[in-house]
């Protein structure tokens, strides 16, 4: 298969995934590792590759994209350059004014007519302006402050400076109020006064909230809603929005050098000095901090690049950096909670482009599709499989095992030999003497018509009779003993045994519903397992030895509840017993003994008890150690059961074939 990779250009599309593909992948992961939650977590975190070649990215890759964008910005931009553009515009204003002052001096010196006193006055004014321009400080904040108190001689210079002030005011105000888009002419003293009134009303609402009152949010938005973006539906949304906007400015200040920060603070203070807006904004920041004192909505960013940015670009950059930080926290929470449903795919797309947005939406769809398909459901803050999903995984395990079996060997494993019995089957046969007379009337009459031709009445003869097949009702009770010792788990044998137990459970429930199946895991103790526990691993505990005796005793107790049919234990192991339980009749207490010479003896005694109760023990060994072979031989001699030495990858074939073949024998 040929794969071609190219840079994202916006034309690529993610093929939608269906719940069936997702469930098949999860089933394979669960069967391989035995833990649904971990399988879902791995798929969400690391993504997945599907049989059709489709690749789904995970949360970790999305998180890495956010981090790389953040680091790229830090290594690219230089915040020390935010005043460069302002300095250039101020220099043009000053140069224009200097030209006008110089022209005034020249005019006064060249004038031979007119009032000498007036000429001297003009000369004095021009010289004073020139001295004021020469005395302007080098930093931007101080220059703006002094020029606001300067009486321009040149109207063009005055207009340039006023336009610059409006641009700066607008940039700062748009940082706070995203909906402010009216243009330069709108940043008048009247507009600033209106903004100040809006902030006072907002402060009043927040203070009412803090005092336990319910403020009039709808009335506020009807009056001032044009200052805010769409999507703000309640006061909490508005508070969060303002925290982000103020945090954006605070992040810019915190990320600057102390000198640059003082320069910007002085400029901002002077830009807002003609009204009380500066005080209202300070009060707003204080109220928001009191409302959520622990909320981290302003960060310090260590920029170390060389690319220059303007003030407007720097404010936008701070917003993006804060959003990247916030999105990184959201992604880390999604990784921790195993749930991507709360991610803002639109914001991810804004920050990292269309490809990342589609990735986020695809991850969000996973749990939603599985939940809507009835395959998973909420359990507290986590997910669990539904019975329907458990059946699908069991069927997947059954398919996996049967796929390795030659059809000619297994063939019609679901068909039983018909004959005299007590349960009617769907297929029929010609009547023979001694058969139960369960006649198929329709086929019997049809046989008579085919023999004698159409017409009435139809006369039946004994050879026309067709009766239903029957089968004898048999019942088999099985306990799978699954060794969960350390060597089983480390060697991969335990996972193979668990897969087989799940497949056998599915086979019996679907094909032989009258049979009984229990699963018991054992190490130094015995643990009964419900079918759904085979899809998890939280219960695995292997320390303390391998107690065959206790596992056999527990299995014998379970089988004693079934009074009819055959009984068998399927023992899956890779080693010998290393410990046993000893009960004291005198004090009704028991102790566990490890590596005692009596371990084998006590285990074989339990084998004898199983034999006495009519229980067959079929042992499936996954190692060929000579001492192990000898121990199994002795077990088989006592119990008259069978022993199989198999590789883990073929374990399912042996067990399922053996079970099906035994069912056939019982039904004949």
pLDDT in tens, 199-230: 889 899 988 988 888 899 999 999 888 888 78
Residues 319, 325, 331, 337, CA torsion sign: negative
Average pLDDT over every residue of 353-365: 81
Residue where the block lists tokens 């606001």: 148
Q: Percent of the chain at pLDDT above 90?
A: 8
* Confidence grade of residue 520 (pLDDT, cut at 50, 70, 90): very high
Gap between the terminal Cα atoms of the chain = 51
Residue 24 three-state SS: helix
Per the CB < 8 A criterion, the answer to whether 572 and 483 are in contact is yes
Q: Please count the residues of the chain.
A: 668
Backbone angles phi, psi at 379, to 5 degrees: -135, 95
Residues 6+ apart with CB under 8 A from 36: 26, 30, 383, 384, 385, 535, 536
**At residue 182, does pLDDT exceed 70?**
no
Q: Give the pLDDT score at 566.
A: 86
* Confidence grade of residue 470 (pLDDT, cut at 50, 70, 90): low
Average pLDDT over every residue of 112-136: 78
Q: Give the pLDDT score at 403.
A: 58
Q: Are strands 615-621 and 566-573 parallel, antiparallel or unpaired?
A: parallel
Helix or strand run (H / E) with residue 308 = strand 307-308
Q: Give the pLDDT score at 522.
A: 93
Average pLDDT over every residue of 341-351: 82
Residues 6+ apart with CB under 8 A from 641: 568, 616, 617, 618, 619, 635
More confidently predicted of 238 and 118: 238
Per the CB < 8 A criterion, the answer to whether 554 and 528 are in contact is yes
Distance between CA atoms of 132 and 153, rounded to whole angstroms? 12
**Token output for 432:** 């023979």
**Token output for 583:** 């009960």
Q: Give the pLDDT score at 610.
A: 94
Per the CB < 8 A criterion, the answer to whether 377 and 55 are in contact is no
**At residue 586, does pLDDT exceed 60?**
no
Average pLDDT over every residue of 551-556: 94
Mean pLDDT of the chain: 78
Distance between CA atoms of 653 and 468, rounded to whole angstroms? 33
Q: Give the pLDDT score at 476.
A: 85
More confidently predicted of 528 and 53: 528
Q: Please give the domain boundaries of the chain with CATH numbers for all domains.
A: 19-76+324-385 (no CATH), 79-304 (no CATH), 423-471 (no CATH), 476-667 (3.40.50.410)
Q: Is the whole model's pTM more than 0.85, yes or no?
A: no
Q: Give the pLDDT score at 458.
A: 81
Distance between CA atoms of 239 and 55, rounded to whole angstroms? 40
More confidently predicted of 246 and 200: 200
Q: Give the pLDDT score at 295.
A: 53
* Confidence grade of residue 243 (pLDDT, cut at 50, 70, 90): confident
Q: Give the pLDDT score at 556.
A: 94
Residue where the block lists tokens 């402050």: 145
pLDDT in tens, 443-462: 888 888 888 888 788 888 88
Q: Give the pLDDT score at 375.
A: 79
Q: Give the pLDDT score at 653.
A: 65
**Token output for 12:** 């690529």
The listed range with the strongest mean pLDDT (19-28, 538-547, 583-592) is 538-547
Q: Give the pLDDT score at 518.
A: 92
Average pLDDT over every residue of 474-480: 84
* Confidence grade of residue 408 (pLDDT, cut at 50, 70, 90): very low
More confidently predicted of 179 and 192: 192
Q: Give the pLDDT score at 374.
A: 79
Q: Give the pLDDT score at 317.
A: 84
Please, what is the angle between helix 84-110 and helix 140-148, to 10°? 40
DSSP string, 99-132: HHHHHHHHHHHH--SS-HHHHHHHHHHHHHHHHH
Distance between CA atoms of 146 and 218, rounded to whole angstroms? 43
**Token output for 129:** 């302006």
Distance between CA atoms of 504 and 525, rounded to whole angstroms? 23
More confidently predicted of 554 and 191: 554
**Token output for 409:** 């060997």
Per the CB < 8 A criterion, the answer to whether 81 and 309 are in contact is yes
Average pLDDT over every residue of 508-527: 86
Per the CB < 8 A criterion, the answer to whether 432 and 418 are in contact is no
Q: Give the pLDDT score at 113.
A: 60
């Amino acid at each position: 298969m040929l794969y071609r990779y190219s840079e994202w250009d916006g034309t690529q599309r993610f093929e939608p995934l269906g719940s069936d593909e997702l469930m098949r992948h999860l089933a394979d992961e669960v069967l391989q590792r035995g833990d649904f939650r971990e399988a879902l977590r791995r798929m969400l975190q690391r993504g997945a590759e599907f049989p059709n070649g489709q690749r789904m990215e995970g949360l970790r890759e999305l998180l890495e994209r956010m981090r790389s964008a953040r680091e790229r910005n830090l290594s690219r931009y230089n915040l020390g350059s935010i005043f460069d553009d302002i300095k250039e515009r101020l220099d043009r204003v000053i140069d224009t004014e200097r030209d006008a002052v110089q022209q005034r001096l020249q005019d006064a010196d060249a004038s031979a007519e007119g009032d000498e006193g007036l000429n001297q006055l003009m000369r004095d004014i021009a010289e004073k302006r020139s001295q004021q321009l020469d005395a302007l400080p080098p930093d931007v904040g101080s220059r703006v402050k002094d020029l606001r108190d300067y009486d321009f001689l040149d109207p063009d210079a005055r207009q340039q400076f006023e336009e610059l002030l409006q641009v700066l005011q607008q940039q700062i105000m748009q940082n706070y109020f995203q909906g402010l888009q009216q243009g330069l002419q709108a940043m008048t003293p009247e507009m600033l006064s209106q903004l100040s009134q809006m902030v006072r009303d907002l402060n009043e609402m927040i203070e009412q909230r803090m005092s336990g009152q319910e403020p009039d949010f709808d009335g506020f938005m009807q009056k001032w809603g044009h200052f805010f973006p769409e999507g703000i539906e309640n006061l909490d949304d508005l508070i969060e929005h303002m925290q982000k906007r103020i945090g954006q400015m605070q992040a810019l200040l915190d990320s600057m050098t102390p000198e640059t920060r003082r320069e910007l603070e002085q400029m901002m203070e002077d830009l807002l000095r003609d009204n009380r807006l500066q005080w209202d904004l300070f009060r707003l920041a204080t109220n928001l901090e009191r409302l959520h004192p622990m909320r981290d909505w302003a960060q310090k960013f260590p920029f170390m690049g060389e690319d220059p940015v303007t003030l407007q670009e720097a404010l936008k950059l701070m917003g993006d950096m804060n959003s990247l930080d916030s999105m990184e926290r959201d992604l880390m929470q999604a990784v921790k909670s195993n749930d991507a449903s709360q991610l803002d795919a639109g914001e991810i797309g804004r920050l990292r482009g269309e490809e990342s947005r589609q990735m986020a939406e695809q991850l969000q769809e996973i749990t939603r599709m599985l939940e809507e398909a009835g395959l998973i459901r909420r359990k507290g803050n986590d997910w669990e499989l539904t019975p329907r999903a458990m059946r699908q995984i069991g069927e997947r395990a059954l398919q996996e095992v049967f796929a390795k079996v030659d059809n000619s060997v297994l063939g019609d494993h679901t068909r039983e030999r018909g004959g005299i019995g007590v349960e009617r089957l769907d297929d029929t046969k010609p009547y023979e003497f001694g058969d139960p007379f369960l006649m198929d009337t329709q086929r019997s009459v049809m046989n008579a018509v085919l023999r004698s031709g159409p017409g009435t009445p139809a006369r039946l003869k004994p050879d026309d009779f067709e009766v239903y097949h029957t089968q004898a009702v048999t019942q088999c009770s099985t306990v799978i003993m699954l060794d969960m010792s350390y060597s089983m788990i480390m060697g991969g044998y335990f996972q193979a045994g668990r897969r087989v137990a799940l497949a056998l459970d599915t086979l019996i429930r679907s094909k032989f519903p009258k049979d009984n199946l229990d699963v018991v895991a054992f190490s130094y103790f015995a643990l009964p397992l419900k079918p759904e526990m085979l899809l998890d691993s939280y219960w695995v505990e292997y320390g303390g030895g391998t107690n065959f005796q206790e596992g056999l005793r527990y299995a014998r107790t379970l089988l004693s509840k079934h009074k009819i049919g055959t009984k068998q234990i399927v023992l899956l192991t890779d080693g010998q017993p290393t410990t046993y339980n000893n009960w004291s009749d005198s004090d009704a207490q028991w102790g566990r003994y490890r590596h005692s010479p009596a371990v084998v003896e006590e285990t074989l005694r339990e084998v004898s008890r199983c034999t006495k109760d009519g229980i067959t023990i079929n042992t499936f060994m996954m190692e060929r150690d000579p001492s192990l072979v000898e121990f199994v031989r002795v077990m088989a001699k006592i119990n008259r059961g069978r022993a199989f030495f198999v590789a883990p990858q073929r374990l399912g074939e042996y067990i399922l074939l053996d079970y099906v073949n035994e069912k056939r024998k019982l039904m004949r």
